[in-house]
A and B are shown apart, each in its own frame.
Chain A
Amino acid sequence: MATETYAVDAEDVVKLFGKQRALDGVTLRVRRGEVYGLLGPNGAGKTTLIRSLVGLVAPEAGTVSVLGHRMPQLDVLAHVGYMTQQAALYPDLSAEENVHFFGAIYGRVDGVRDALELVDLWDRRKSVVASLSGGMRTRCSLACALVHKPDLLLLDEPTVGVDPQLRVQLWDRFRKMAAEGTTIVVSSHVMDEAERCDRLGLIRFGKLLAEGSVAEIKAKAGVDRLEEAFLKLSEVSPA
């Protein structure tokens, strides 16, 4: 499996919700050990794209391969971590019980402590999720996504509501995980996070409008602030 160049290889993926083209021919290739950022306005198709990678969305057209396996494929999901946009947790269980449960699903309960420490929830591990603050719930949800030390980590807006200090800390950990070989696909609206990605994809109206490293994107738009580049490149009207 490790011989595959691409951790994610999606080609011409089309997904319709009724008449709505949530994905309109997206081709996405993410190399192993890369941190890939998906940027785009609300309703652009980021979540739909990520869900199609784990087989939660059945595309009308196109193919998706993950870690060298054509999706949908159940066993490859053992090596994928998926953090949903809304914190998906059992509110009546404690933080630790939640992480432990997802660890057990993947047969990796040994990662519980690491995961909780990573998101700085070890001290609050006995707290019932319903009693945690919003940002803490997001962190707990993140811990659940990486408890099994996946090769591919899909994060849908992982740092919404997380305080700046911890956000910086988390990104340091993401970079460290990437250096150890984990591939990370992360959606975000936050530009300073985007700056820390190896490559960025700009998505809008279900299309990948531009792709490249931060420097490439800035050069393409002819501006030197990522925010401006982002606005400029997404001015393209829908086809």
Chain B
Amino acid sequence: MNARRVEAITQRLLHQFRRDRRTLALLFGAPLVILGLLGYLLRGGGDVPKMGAVNLDSGQLGSLVASTLEGSKTVSASSMSQADAETRLRSGDIAGYVLLPADFTAQVQQHRVVAPEVHLEGSQPGLSQSILQSVSQSFVSLASQAGGVQFTPRVSFLYGGPSFDTLDYFGAAFIGLVVFFLVFVITAVAFLRERGQGTLERLMASPLRRAEIVLGYMLGFTVLALVQSAEVLAFSLLVLHVHNVGNVALIFLLEALMAIAAVNLGIFLSMFARTEFQAVQFIPLVIVPQVLLAGIIFPISTEPGPLQWLSHVLPLTYAVEGLRNIMIKGADLTWSTLQLDVGVVLGFCVLVILAGAATLRRRIA
């Protein structure tokens, strides 16, 4: 071991970094961006899940529970009629409601049992959990007033069901994410390699039109991406048994659109990098924020306001929502929400295809 030789390597690396401002910026900027985002997401005082309280009770205990719920800090509950609650549940406006029956007070006083109906939207396990917790807490205060009562809520789900778990919720999103992420990285690196090894210069000196180059790349990688999508889908459904009530062809369609978008995003962004090394740096800049904000892990409805706005601009948000709509809610193309999701992803595809073709300059010097 020769210390001077080791030092020579260390020095050379530091010199190289000094030339590479972009890498330095990334090295010291990206962690702050990512951690800042995460902190804002988790601590930013975002919205709590919305729920309804339907009080049909003729006695006073029902309104006691309802007002306890309304005062809760872990959910935002408001009183409403049952019909109202049902429509708002279906539209996704509230994540659940609790139904206090007409004989609620009587049941508590005579049998010491409370069995309220809790209706949950069910597609987001995290929200369902918060609501169940808040409901049971509101009964704790009831129990202290009325003496010991047995609490057995009767839970029903609009989508999913009691066995619907976190994997089912994440699975739908990850099917799209895995494809998007891998295809993006592979395309960007392949395109940069073409530039680095000089073959792009050769292609530019040929009668090829830039649209032909972009299209050729797109088709080649799309073939790969489609095979990968099919593999991911089959594995998720057949091996992991991820919850799916939707049309498999529709899932595949959305995945394919995401793959095409990823290919073109890769081509487009590789125009802004000179080396493969720099291309990989787009991962924390482009991919990580999307993963945090697209509603994959943290439900968008509970994000702080400004981040919600950002989430609604990210195309991945719509892709993820679309996949969940199909797989969890069984949406088809007659649903307006799914039309929006597919429309946005399609629009994004067109946008990056055009951007890719426009930045691939005929003259590269």
Contacts and interface: CB of A to CB of B under 8 A. Distances in A.
B58 interface: no
A54 B205 contact: yes
B202 interface: yes
Contacts of A90: 197, 199
7 contacts: A57-B363, A72-B362, A72-B363, A74-B208, A75-B207, A88-B201, A102-B202
The B contact surface, by secondary structure, is loop
Nearest to B209: A74
Given A56-B363, A56-B364, A88 B207 contact: no
Interface of B: 197-199, 201-209, 362-365
Nearest to A107: B207
Contacts of A106: 206-207
Nearest to B216: A105
B365 A88 contact: no
A54 B197 CA distance: 19
A91 interface: yes
Interface stretch (A5-13, A26-34, A77-85, A170-178): A77-85
A39 interface: no
B271 to A, nearest CB: 16
B207 A82 contact: no
Contacts of B201: 56, 84, 88
Contact of B198 (A72, A75, A77, A84): A84
Contacts of B364: 56
A75 B207 CA distance: 5
A144 interface: yes
B197 A77 contact: no
Nearest to B204: A56
Contacts of B197: 88-91
Given A57-B365, A84-B198, A89-B197, A78 B204 contact: no
B199 A89 contact: yes
Contact of A58 (B202, B205, B209, B363): B363
Most buried by B among A56, A58, A87: A56
Interface in A72-120: 72, 74-75, 77-78, 80, 82, 84, 86-91, 102, 105-106
Contact of A105 (B198, B208, B362, B365): B208
